[in-house]
Structure 1
Amino acid sequence: MSETILHGYWRSSAAYRVRIALGVKGIGYAQVTHDLRAGEQHDPAYLAIAPHGLVPALEHDGDILIESPAILEWIETKWPAPPLLPRSPGDAATVRAMAALIGCDIHPLNNLRVLTQLRSQFDASNAQVKAWIAHWIGAGFGALEQLIDRVGGTFAFGDAPTLADCYLVPQVYNAERYDVDLGDFPRIRATAEAARALPAFAAAHPEVQPDFK
């Protein structure tokens, strides 16, 4: 049986998404850590795997996959049960849109390299960086709260976890790390709590990863 290798970092929310998906599918994997704070993602050996110098990357049976949206779609195709996308094309598109709201509209603006640029090139203070983070999380969560109110159940879409939850739980973790007030987003908080109670989500939590420090 081919070994599945996940290249990541305990605090990377993009790697967190992939850990959740693999856990939901019941797929075992080995982890290789690349400490983003130490710049290990720029090591030539890793760049040979992931030329963009970001985590996660996934290796399986000769395939080398980068970028969490592509990895998650590959996982869903490779191991379709239990599903992380609804069968209806319209419902699947809604779930993908909810995921993209986080993956495209929130996460890139709060990525480590963006925050580093704010500090190094624009002399932003810690308070200004936290305000930046809170602004973009709040803007995205405002829209996502409405979507969950429209299509959510126990989870972000209906009563089974989907790709939307794989994105949401790591983003809520980031919001909590930066003391973002989630008081205006009760559906998001309830959804995250329900997902975190599942074993696959609990096992993917950053602070239980082997490289946590």
Structure 2
Amino acid sequence: MTTVYGMRASGNCYKLQLLLSHLGRQHRWVDVDSTRGETRTPEYLAKNPNGKVPLLELEDGRLLAESNAILCYLAEGSAYLPTDHWQRAQALQWLFFEQYSHEPYVAVARYIAKWLPADHPRQAELPRLRERGHQALDVMEQRLSKSEFFSDGGYGVADIALYAYTHEAPVGGFDLSAYAAVRSWLQRVEAQPGFVPQSY
């Protein structure tokens, strides 16, 4: 059986939970808590030298890291990853956007605001993170004001990837009231067959 090593509080790991639920695919989940150093043990580093979650392990022992790469692998052959070349390129475009322009700001702001004490030095990063996070949300709003989902092929991996941290953006101090298209899209994602909320 396919095994996923992950931390349920992580949006990057939640992406896989959500896709696997959509697919109805049996899998084994192994909790690995990076906040307790469990991704830095010799045993885990032997599987993923980068020391991060999530990590996918196939029945034959092959290992795949990086959440969006795992999404594409698991979604191959399903409606969640387009076969049309243009639509697949669109999906990849938004997956790269999520990792480079969205997650470093929206997810990091969420982490600092949710888990670090009020007097922690990293609290000083929040204004800049929120500024850049709002820039990413503005880009998303423009796209979603013209399209129901991020790929012309419909709901898929790009939506799953971006939903993972956007739905918790308010935790990081992002007010979504000005983003009507984003809020409507969140509702459309949550209405998809097999949707499961994030568990902790």
Note whether the superposition's TM-score is higher than 0.5: yes
1:73-92 mapped onto 2 (5 Å cutoff): 73-77=72-76, 80-81=77-78, 83-92=79-88
Q: Label 1:157 to 1:190 Cα distance change in 2 as closer, same or farther (>3 A).
A: farther
**CA RMSD across the alignment:** 2.3
Quote the Cα distance in structure 2 between the aligned partners of 1:88 and 1:106: 25
**Percentage of matched positions with identical amino acids:** 23
Determine helix, strand or coil for the equivalent of 1:183. coil
2:165 pairs with 153, 161, 171, which one?
171
Unmatched segments (≥5 aa) in structure 1: none
Q: CA deviation at 1:173?
A: 2.9
| Corresponding position: 1:206 with 2:166 | no
1:22-171 mapped onto 2 (5 Å cutoff): 22-62=20-60, 63-77=62-76, 80-81=77-78, 83-109=79-105, 124-126=121-123, 128-150=124-146, 152-153=147-148, 155-157=149-151, 160-171=154-165
Q: Normalised by the size of structure 1, how large is the TM-score? A: 0.79
Quote the Cα distance in structure 2 between the aligned partners of 1:57 and 1:49: 8
User: Match for 2:49: what amino acid?
Assistant: P
Q: Which aligned segments of 4 or more residues in structure 1 are displaced greater than 4 angstroms?
A: 109-112
Q: CA deviation at 1:137?
A: 1.7
Q: Normalised by the size of structure 2, how large is the TM-score? A: 0.84
Q: Label 1:67 to 1:98 Cα distance change in 2 as closer, same or farther (>3 A).
A: same
User: Match for 2:23: what amino acid?
Assistant: K
Quote the Cα distance in structure 2 between the aligned partners of 1:93 and 1:158: 10
Quote the Cα distance in structure 1 between the aligned partners of 2:41 and 2:31: 12
